[in-house]
Amino acid sequence: MLSEFDLIKQYFDRSRPGKAVLGIGDDCALLAPAPGMQTAISSDMLVEGRHFFAGEDARRLGHKSLAVNLSDLAAMGAKPVGFTLALALPSADQAWLQGFSQGLFALADAHGCELIGGDTTKGPLNICITIFGEVAPGHALRRDAAQPGDDIWISGTLGDARLALAGYNNELALTAEEQEAAGLRMHLPAPRVALGMLLASQRLARAALDISDGLVGDLGHILKKSQVGATLNADALPCGPVLATKDIGLRRRFMAAGGDDYELCFTAPVSSRDAIIAAGAQCGTAVTRVGVIDAAPGLRLVDADGGTLALQLQGFDHFAGTAGS
C-alpha cells in the first residue's frame, strides 16, 4: 500500500526545474510574479456522481479537471502559470493514479502550467484544482465590461457535450459512433487559452466568460454584471458536428442551454471584427459572431429572419437542480 508521501512523490512530484521558486515539498509553494503583472486565480472542483460518472476513465478525468480550470484563465485572458491539486481518493489505486496523472500532465505541459502543490486525503473521489495565471493590468476580460453595440462571439462549437450527456442518460438514442464523437467534447474539452490571451493582450474583446453551464445562463452573467441586454441569433450559433445531424429544435436547445462546452463567449466592439477573425485563425479556433449587446435589459433569442423565439432556456444550477449538464 502506498503511503500518502510515496503517492505524491511517485505520481505528482516531478521535481523538475520550473517557473515556481519552490514547488511541491514544503508547506507552501513560492511563485515570483512577473514584475507589474496581476495574478488571476480560480478554483474548480469535480465531484464524482455530480460532475462525472463513477468509473470514469482516469486519464480523461486528469485532463478534464485541469481543462476546466485552464478554461477560466482563458476566459480572463490570463496566461497559465501553475496550479495546486487537492485530491480525495477512496484508495491508492495505482492504475488510476497513473492514468489520472498522465492525463493531467499532458495538458499541463501543453500549456506550460506547473503543478506546484496540493493536498491528498482519503475520501470519496473529489478533485479540486486551483489555478494561477498572469495578466497585464487592465487587460483582463471581465464580466462587467460589455457595452451596448458590442458584437457577441462564440469560440468553437456548442452542443455536442450536452448531446453526449443526453445519450448517456438515455434521453436520446445515439449510435455508438455518435456517442463516442460527442463524448470526446464532454470528456476532453479544449480550453481556449491561446484565443483568450490574444483577445486580452491585443485588447480586442471587452467582456468574456467560458460556457460551462449553457450559453444563455452564462451570457446572463455578463448581462447582469454589465447592466446591459442582448439579442442572440439562434440560427448563427455554431453547432457541434454530431448535434448538427439532429433536428432544429434539439439543436437550438442544446446549443443555447447545454452545458460543459468550455467555449468562450465574449463581447467586442464592431471595430475588432477583422482582428478577431485573424486571432481565431492564428490559434486554429473558429470564432463566430452570434448576436449583439443591447442597452435594454433582458436576453432576446431570435431566428435568422429576426422572429422572436420563446424557449425554456435555463442554465444549470446545482442547487436549484434545473435541467442541464
Angle 110-114-120 from CA coordinates, rounded to 5°: 120
Contact 307, 208 (CB under 8 A): no
Side chain identity, residue 34: A
Residue from 6, 119, 144, 317 in contact with Mg ion (CB under 5 A): 119
User: CB-side exposure of 4: number of CA atoms within 13 Å?
Assistant: 12
Could you say which of Mg ion, ligand ADP, none residue 107 binds, taking C-beta under 5 to 8 angstroms by partner kind? Answer: none
- Residues within the interface to ligand ADP (CB under 6 A): 8, 12, 24-27, 85, 87, 115, 117-120
Least Å distance between CB 172 and Mg ion?
Answer: 44
Q: Which is nearer to ligand ADP, 15 or 312 (CB)?
A: 15
CA distance 52 to 49: 6
Least Å distance between CB 12 and Mg ion?
Answer: 13
* Residue 171 in contact with Mg ion, rule: CB under 5 A: no
- Residues tagged in the binding site annotation for ATP: 118-119, 143, 212
Contact 100, 59 (CB under 8 A): yes
CA distance 212 to 215: 8
Could you say which of Mg ion, ligand ADP, none residue 104 binds, taking C-beta under 5 to 8 angstroms by partner kind? Answer: none
Q: Which is nearer to Mg ion, 89 or 242 (CB)?
A: 89
- Residues tagged in the binding site annotation for substrate: 51, 260, 316
Q: Can you point out the beta strands (E) in 20-122?
A: 38-47, 79-89, 114-122
Kindly state the DSSP code that residue 272 receives in the 8-state scheme. Answer: G
- Residues tagged in the binding site annotation for Mg(2+): 27, 42-44, 72, 119, 210, 213
CA distance 150 to 305: 20
Q: Which is nearer to Mg ion, 119 or 317 (CB)?
A: 119
Least Å distance between CB 82 and Mg ion?
Answer: 17
Q: Which is nearer to ligand ADP, 128 or 158 (CB)?
A: 128
CA distance 253 to 172: 14
Angle 194-196-198 from CA coordinates, rounded to 5°: 70
**Residue 268 Cα distances to 145, 282, 285, 287, angstroms:** 10, 18, 17, 12
Least Å distance between CB 120 and ligand ADP?
Answer: 4
* Residue 4 in contact with Mg ion, rule: CB under 5 A: no
- Residues tagged in the binding site annotation: 27, 42-44, 51, 72, 118-119, 143, 210, 212-213, 260, 316
Could you say which of ligand ADP, Mg ion, none residue 268 binds, taking C-beta under 5 to 8 angstroms by partner kind? Answer: none
Q: Which is nearer to ligand ADP, 24 or 73 (CB)?
A: 24
Least Å distance between CB 117 and Mg ion?
Answer: 9
Could you say which of Mg ion, ligand ADP, none residue 6 binds, taking C-beta under 5 to 8 angstroms by partner kind? Answer: none
Could you say which of Mg ion, ligand ADP, none residue 8 binds, taking C-beta under 5 to 8 angstroms by partner kind? Answer: ligand ADP
C-alpha cell at 250: 434539439
Q: Which is nearer to ligand ADP, 103 or 280 (CB)?
A: 103
C-alpha cell at 251: 439543436
Residues 6+ apart with CB under 8 A from 150: 206, 207, 267, 268, 269, 270, 292, 293
Least Å distance between CB 32 and ligand ADP?
Answer: 17
Q: Which is nearer to Mg ion, 5 or 53 (CB)?
A: 5
Q: Which residues bind Mg ion (CB under 5 A)?
A: 119
